[in-house]
Amino acid sequence: MRNTVFGLSLLVMAGCSTEPLVSDFNGSSVKLQTDAFTPLAEAKRMSQAEADRICGKVGKQAEYASSREVPGYVYEHLYLCL
């Protein structure tokens, strides 16, 4: 029973995609975090839109630099504000 509940909870979480969270912004770059259960292509698409919005607040455009997986089932995406 316990394994069934755990398995079902993983399936439910896998179907959910959350909005990117800003983890760092300094005017020149922005780091966004997405959960690892979201497909990477979709996570990059959503984070690009959010980076464009954040960098746009200081009159700049976001350019993708890199992504990495960090502990806690999270991807971190770095964008440069140019």
Q: Which residue segment(s) compose the domain that 52 sits in?
A: 2-81
Distance from C-alpha of 14 to C-alpha of 54, rounded to nearest angstrom: 27
Residues of the chain above pLDDT 70, percent:
79
Domains identified in the chain, total number: 1
Spatial distance between the Cα atoms of 44 and 71, rounded to a whole number of angstroms: 18
State residue 11's pLDDT score.
45
Residues of the chain with pLDDT under 50: 5, 7-8, 10-12, 14
Is the whole-model pTM more than 0.85?
Answer: no
pLDDT at position 17 is 65
Q: Extract the tokens encoding 6.
A: 């755990």
Where do the H-state alpha helices sit in the chain?
A: 2-14, 40-56
Q: Which of 34, 18, 27, 38 is nearest to 77 (CA)?
A: 34
pLDDT at 40 (0 to 100): 87
- Provide the pLDDT for residue 61: 98
What pLDDT, on the 0 to 100 scale, is given for residue 74?
Answer: 95
Assess contact for 79 and 25: CB atoms under 8 A.
no
